Amino acid sequence: MPAWSRHRGYPFGPIRWKYSITDETLERIVRALFTSLGVVALIAMFAYPSIRTDGSAAPAATDGTSGATARPSEAPLSVVDKGAFATVGTRSFSELTRQGARISLESLARAPQTQMDGIPREFYFARLAYNGFGGFYGRGGSWATDYPKADQIFLSFIDRLLPNLDAYEREFVMQVNNPDVRRFPLLYALEVGRMSLTPPEIVGLRDYLLAGGFLIIDDFWGTREWQQFEYQMRQVLPDHQIVDLDIDHPIFTTFYEIDEIIQVPNVGQGVRGGRTYERDGIIPQVKGIHDENGRLMVIINWNTDLGDAWEWADDPYYPLKYSTYAYEMGVNFIVYAMSH
Amino acid sequence: MDTIFEFLFKYRPILFQEGDFTFASTWPSLLVLGAVAAVTIPTLFTYGQARGDSRKGDRTVMAVIRLGLVAVLVFILFQPTLVLTSVVPQRNFVGILIDDSQSMRIPDEGGVSRADFIRTTFGAEGSELLTALSDKFALRFFRFSRDASRLNDMSELSYSGTATNLGNAMVRAQEELAGVPISGLVVVSDGADNSGEVLAESLLPLQAGGVPVYTIGLGEEELARDVQVSRVEMPRTVLVGTSLVVDVIVSHQGYSGRTVQLLVEDTGALLASEDVTFEGDGEPVVTRVRIHAEDAGPRVLRFRVAPQEGERVTENNVRDVLVDVVNDAEKILYFEGEPRWEVKFIRRAVSDDENLQVVVLQRTAESKFLRLDVDDADELAAGFPKTREELFRYRALILGSVEASFFTHDQLDMIADFVSQRGGGLLVLGGRNAFTQGGYQGTRLAEALPVFLDDELSTSAEPYYGELFVAPTRTGLTHPATQLGEDNSDAVEARWASLPPLTTLNPITRLKPGATGLLTGGPEQERDRQIVLAYHRYGRGKVIALPVQDSWIWQMHADISLEDQTHEVFWRQLLRWLTDGVPSQVAAQADRELVEPGQPVNLIVDVGDSAYVEVNDGNVVAMIRTPSGDTMTVPLDWDVEQDGHYEAGFPTTGPGLYEVSVNALRGADTIGAALTYVNVAPSDEEYFNASMRGATLRRVADQTGGIFYTPETVANLPEDISLTGAGVTLTEERDLWDMPILLILVLGLMAAEWGYRRKRGLI
């Protein structure tokens, strides 16, 4: 019996499907459950008056814009609605970092409140919130996959691995069509197979990268997602090629010596063992996009899920091998981005 | 005045100054007294007795007038005489020194050149002055410009000397005339000494020998209308691709309010131009010209102002300056104590600059270092240099956010010595572990910084954070490091004003005495609140403080377009300036910038070992390639008085660039090599500051007991020398009784009495 039929379990597989649930089915059920929960949450969010931080009820937004016109700087920003990002202009750094946090707060109803006071930091692990199609767990967009736990756990490890780095300890979200993104020269984006950038985002990302920004791409699998991502990047950087990064590229030795690219499975597969790939993304690859001067602008981790390894590094069932590798890669990315 | 005096007193004042007054009469004193009494008593008696209509007052007045008249007559009868010491005719020598330099060709008022005066006065047979002089003295002529020599015939004067050395000429003439009685020296010159020697020293032997110097000043003390490129302040060596700001001092006479164009040319190609507006008469204008050093190699840059109408001297409108544009890679060590965006963006800014090699040593974690752009696997393998040899290989050091306690005491000393002894450049960046926040107070590094670390905010326990809108200071407007590629001060100011703010964690507000602030920053309306860029010299090198933490904002900020080069230009110029003038182990240069064909050049070489300790036992040899392609080898000798200092002279022949490559060895080991150039060219130096230096010539005359003349007053020279000069003298008596003033007095007193009587009706 060919291997694929066992996984599909249909139509000629063993009849055991009545007694055990396959991975695929389990995933479908979980996804359906969370999608419906997400729908309920969205309905709840829009159907009820929003609550102000001082506890008083805000006037009901009958036309959907009155909240935005009343206090522009606190306009609710939706990452789901295309083109609905407010252009916040250029503000002072401390104001900006607070605003950045509020963007994540207000755009993600369930995100923890991260009010940043005090002195701005040198390094922010900024997650790129981009427009895309197909929600994941009902949280507005594929960009928010593993958010915010992956970011939080990652930063707590970074604090120990790079003690000299003055890093902000909490998750942080930026949109690339927001001029303020330029304050954060490193961005992390994942699940980019569902990325569908708006024209302002395309321009914003292009300018960001050409000005000197660095983008880490992670957690997308297989040919179809690759094609979508490649199509998006061709619009962002039409004159730049995506190339394979050899293992002797300095990014693999900047801090840790990495001598092999391994496939990091998602948490489910990692905990259970067995296959590590998703869809047809069997071979993990690290690719890059360079500028005219040969400087690496984008590092692409395809057919691998570093984010899950970061997120579940504290899970005793998640294999150490994967999280070690993922953290080594993550540290190297940061050190490389901050010096090259 | 002198003429009136001479009319009244018969002789010129100088005779009264020089001579002694005496009475020649040999009558005994008693007889004299008797005679005076015989005249005075009857006079007083007769005036006292007379009555008529006169009152007592009238009689007193008339008696006094009459007595005055008697007194004058008595004075005359006693034969007043002036006793003078004058030189014996034809027994004494006078040396006449004639300026033979180019400046004598300059036409002065009326189109008559200074040389014309010499031709008519000393050249023409039978000139009154020459005749009068040769009647009294034996004359010896000398010509002088850079050197002095005997002159046998006036036709030998060519007025082509390219320098004037007044002191040397007088000393030489005195030496030539040693052994014969000298009455004095006559210097005929415009006094425009440009030898650079101290004139007072040359006057000492003349003062000691009692030889008066008579100076004849030719030319106008102020040229009526003239423009002059007085000075060009420019480094001798620059890195290719560097933007320079060159100070050019342009002076003028008679062109107030006019705007002229200062042009800078490199072998005919225009490099830059700058408008210069003249203000009050004679006020020099300091103009700053921005030049970009494009092509490597020695370049002779010409700074020029077009001749203006009515200008008689146009040779001084041009100045040539040699600059060696080198194509080296300046090696800079950037030590950063933590992962920081500044590292990425500074490297990015200078990555295209082939002349800057920024070696990065970054502490990424405890005892873990990232090395970037090192030459080989061994470089900095053990982290921050621990020996002077290792650190002094770099020409500049950038310190990022790294706490003082990271370094050993010796390493901190070594960093300070890197600047003070090695002459390297040190740039200290801001950050959470820099300056006060890095615990540098009280260290030797704090001593080396151009700023104080004890600001109130800085030393408080609360961490500081400030946003800085940056603005240039007055100096910063024209400093090469802060030009941002703009070509005038207004544009520079506007460019800085347009930049987004940076942030700082180091509130630095006070400059040390002698330090210069270039950039300040603060809230938008108060941009001078704290220091953003400042420097000072510390020993042989310079230290620059840049207490901000994110200059990369000027690259990344959304308001900065992708094409904008502000960040790149700022860092390139800053690092070029940081390494500018940093000495190498072997440094060679000629003792002066301008050498004329045929003149010898003195070559000076300083040699130090790898720790920049002076080397005295080196074997230093210079290989000189002349413009015609010939080579010569010149060994240099250690100057015993100064450690590490070697000197040797070599001759020049034709004009052109002489390439001097110096090689220093110690035993069989090479210490280092250096390359320099000498520009040998005919000089127009004589045309600069070419007005007559009356003050210099007066001083020479005053200090030696001579007299200063102009062509108008020079007729008195022969007699003055004979009266005031040294040499073999005799005594001469001159009668004073026939001075016209005495006759006028007699007649005047008589007329006064008669007039008084008429008025009072006593006749």
DSSP annotation string for B624-640: EE-TTS-EEEEEEEE-T
Between CA A111 and CA A99 the distance in angstroms is 15
pLDDT digits (tens, 9 = 90+) for A96-144: 444 443 344 344 433 333 434 568 899 999 999 998 886 544 455 788 8
Ordered domains of chain A (ranges, CATH)? 79-337 (3.40.50.12140)
pLDDT of residue B701: 92
Average pLDDT over residues B595-619: 91
Say yes or no: B321 and B344 in one domain.
no
CA dist B402 to A76, B334, B366, B399, Å? 41, 11, 12, 7
Domain presence at residue B494: no
Facing residues of B365 across strands? B368
Facing residues of B323 across strands? B299
Inspect the interface and report whether the beta carbons of A92 and B467 lie closer than 8 Å.
yes
Amino acid at B282: G
Q: Where are the beta strands (DSSP E) in B524-614?
A: 530-538, 541-546, 586-590, 601-607
Å between B649 CA and nearest CA of chain A: 49
Say yes or no: B76 and B93 in one domain.
no
pLDDT at A259 over 60: yes
Contact present, A123 and A165 (Cβ < 8 Å): yes
Residue B521: name the closest of B594, B467, B573 by CA.
B467
Inspect the interface and report whether the beta carbons of A295 and B348 lie closer than 8 Å.
yes
Inspect the interface and report whether the beta carbons of B344 and A338 lie closer than 8 Å.
yes
pLDDT of residue A138: 42
Domain that holds residue B616: 586-680
HSE, CB side, 13 Å, CA atoms: give it for residue B281. Answer: 6
Inspect the interface and report whether the beta carbons of A122 and B341 lie closer than 8 Å.
yes
Q: Which residues of A touch B338 (CB under 8 A)?
A: 122, 164-166
Give the CATH number of the domain where residue B281 resides: 2.60.40.150
Q: Which residues of B touch A93 (CB under 8 A)?
A: 467, 503
Say yes or no: B24 and B146 in one domain.
no
pLDDT digits (tens, 9 = 90+) for B111-138: 788 888 888 888 777 788 888 888 888 8
Domain boundary among B579, B594, B610: B579
Domain presence at residue B737: yes
pLDDT of residue A44: 65
Q: Which residues of B touch A161 (CB under 8 A)?
A: 365
Say yes or no: B345 and B444 in one domain.
yes
Q: Which SS3 state, helix, strand or coil, does residue B67 take?
A: helix
pLDDT digits (tens, 9 = 90+) for B428-456: 999 999 999 999 999 999 999 999 998 87
Facing residues of B669 across strands? B666
Percent of chain B's residues with pLDDT above 70: 99
Per the prediction, chain B carries an average pLDDT of 90
Inspect the interface and report whether the beta carbons of A335 and B370 lie closer than 8 Å.
yes
Between CA B74 and CA B31 the distance in angstroms is 12
Q: Which SS3 state, helix, strand or coil, does residue B212 take?
A: coil
Average pLDDT over residues A161-174: 91
- Note if the bond before A11 is cis, omega within 30 degrees: yes
Domain presence at residue B498: no
Say yes or no: B125 and B81 in one domain.
no
Contact present, B220 and B735 (Cβ < 8 Å): no
Between CA B98 and CA B188 the distance in angstroms is 5
pLDDT of residue A154: 95
Q: Are strands A186-190 and A214-220 parallel, antiparallel or unpaired?
A: parallel
Average pLDDT over residues B390-403: 96
Phi, psi of B287 (to 5 degrees): -110, 140
Average pLDDT over residues B258-277: 91
Inspect the interface and report whether the beta carbons of A339 and B505 lie closer than 8 Å.
no
Higher pLDDT, A91 or B589: B589
Per the prediction, chain A carries an average pLDDT of 76
Contact present, B557 and A182 (Cβ < 8 Å): yes
What length does chain B have?
Answer: 763
Inspect the interface and report whether the beta carbons of B338 and A210 lie closer than 8 Å.
no
Q: Does B425 touch chain A (CB under 8 A)?
A: no
Average pLDDT over residues A302-316: 93
Q: Which residues of A touch B370 (CB under 8 A)?
A: 254-255, 335, 339
pLDDT of residue B676: 93
Average pLDDT over residues B370-389: 94
Q: What is the chain B residue with the closest CA to A337?
A: B344
- Within B264-407, residue ranges assigned H as helices are 341-350, 388-391
Say yes or no: B358 and B288 in one domain.
no
Q: Which residues of B touch A294 (CB under 8 A)?
A: none
Q: Does B566 touch chain A (CB under 8 A)?
A: no
Residue B693: name the closest of B129, B149, B206, B164 by CA.
B164
- Within B21-55, residue ranges assigned H as helices are 29-49
Say yes or no: B573 and B439 in one domain.
yes
Q: Does B1 touch chain A (CB under 8 A)?
A: no
Q: Which of B339, B360, B556 is closest, CB to CB, to A182?
A: B556
Between CA B171 and CA B166 the distance in angstroms is 9
Q: With 0-12 CB in 10 A as exposed, 13-18 as middle and 19+ as buried, what is B472?
A: buried
Q: Does B340 touch chain A (CB under 8 A)?
A: yes
Domain presence at residue B103: yes
Inspect the interface and report whether the beta carbons of A339 and B372 lie closer than 8 Å.
yes
Facing residues of B646 across strands? B605, B638
pLDDT of residue A83: 30
A9-13 contacts: CB < 8 A, separation 24 or more?
Answer: none
Contact present, A86 and A77 (Cβ < 8 Å): yes
Q: Which of A93, A164, A213 is closest, CB to CB, to B467?
A: A93
Q: With 0-12 CB in 10 A as exposed, 13-18 as middle and 19+ as buried, what is B406?
A: middle
Q: Where are the beta strands (DSSP E) in chain A?
A: 126-128, 172-174, 186-190, 214-220, 242-244, 285-290, 296-302
pLDDT of residue B31: 84
Q: Does B553 touch chain A (CB under 8 A)?
A: yes
Average pLDDT over residues A184-203: 94
Q: Which residues of B touch A254 (CB under 8 A)?
A: 370
Residues contacting B257, CB < 8 A, separation 6+: B277, B278, B279
Q: What is the chain B residue with the closest CA to A210?
A: B562
Of the pLDDT bands very low, low, confident and very high (cuts 50, 70, 90), residue B501 is very high
Q: How far is C-alpha B540 from the geometric centre of its chain's CA atoms?
A: 23
CA dist B505 to A120, A241, A328, B46, Å? 10, 40, 31, 109
Residues contacting B52, CB < 8 A, separation 6+: B762
Å between B533 CA and nearest CA of chain A: 21
Domain presence at residue B495: no
pLDDT of residue B281: 80
Domain presence at residue B462: no
Facing residues of A214 across strands? A186
Higher pLDDT, A71 or A193: A193
Amino acid at A232: Q
Between CA A174 and CA A213 the distance in angstroms is 13
Q: Which residues of A touch B363 (CB under 8 A)?
A: 164
Picking from A234-238, B22-26, B100-104, B492-496, which range would have the lowest pLDDT averaged per residue?
Answer: B22-26
**ipTM, 2 decimals?**
0.73
Residue B509: name the closest of B530, B523, B528, B527 by CA.
B530
Q: How is residue B101 annotated by DSSP?
A: B
Domain presence at residue B77: yes
Between CA B323 and CA B344 the distance in angstroms is 34
HSE, CB side, 13 Å, CA atoms: give it for residue B179. Answer: 2
Contact present, B267 and B325 (Cβ < 8 Å): no
Å between B425 CA and nearest CA of chain A: 23
Inspect the interface and report whether the beta carbons of B339 and A164 lie closer than 8 Å.
yes
Q: How is residue A264 annotated by DSSP?
A: P
Inspect the interface and report whether the beta carbons of A166 and B465 lie closer than 8 Å.
no
Inspect the interface and report whether the beta carbons of A166 and B432 lie closer than 8 Å.
yes
Residue A194: name the closest of A109, A279, A265 by CA.
A279
Å between A313 CA and nearest CA of chain B: 21
Inspect the interface and report whether the beta carbons of B556 and A183 lie closer than 8 Å.
yes
Picking from A311-325, B49-63, B540-554, which range would have the lowest pLDDT averaged per residue?
Answer: B49-63
Between CA A95 and CA B515 the distance in angstroms is 35
Inspect the interface and report whether the beta carbons of A339 and B503 lie closer than 8 Å.
no
Å between A330 CA and nearest CA of chain B: 14
- Note if the bond before A49 is cis, omega within 30 degrees: no
pLDDT digits (tens, 9 = 90+) for B126-182: 788 888 888 888 888 999 988 888 888 888 888 888 888 999 999 889 888 888 888
Residue A205: name the closest of A226, A227, A166, A234 by CA.
A234
pLDDT digits (tens, 9 = 90+) for B363-373: 999 889 999 99
Say yes or no: B235 and B285 in one domain.
yes
Phi, psi of B84 (to 5 degrees): -120, 150
Q: Which SS3 state, helix, strand or coil, does residue B348 take?
A: helix
Domain presence at residue B553: yes
Say yes or no: B108 and B194 in one domain.
yes
Q: How many separate domains does chain B show?
A: 5
Say yes or no: B238 and B349 in one domain.
no
Of the pLDDT bands very low, low, confident and very high (cuts 50, 70, 90), residue B245 is confident
Q: Which of B340, B559, B560 is closest, CB to CB, to A122?
A: B340
Q: What is the chain B residue with the closest CA to A204?
A: B558
Inspect the interface and report whether the beta carbons of A207 and B344 lie closer than 8 Å.
no
Facing residues of B428 across strands? B399, B545
pLDDT at A85 over 70: no
Q: Rounded to 5, what percent of chain A is helix, strand, coil?
A: 40, 10, 45
Give the CATH number of the domain where residue B109 resides: 3.40.50.410
Say yes or no: B744 and B755 in one domain.
yes
Inspect the interface and report whether the beta carbons of B556 and A185 lie closer than 8 Å.
yes
pLDDT of residue B307: 92
Å between A179 CA and nearest CA of chain B: 5
Say yes or no: B217 and B261 in one domain.
no
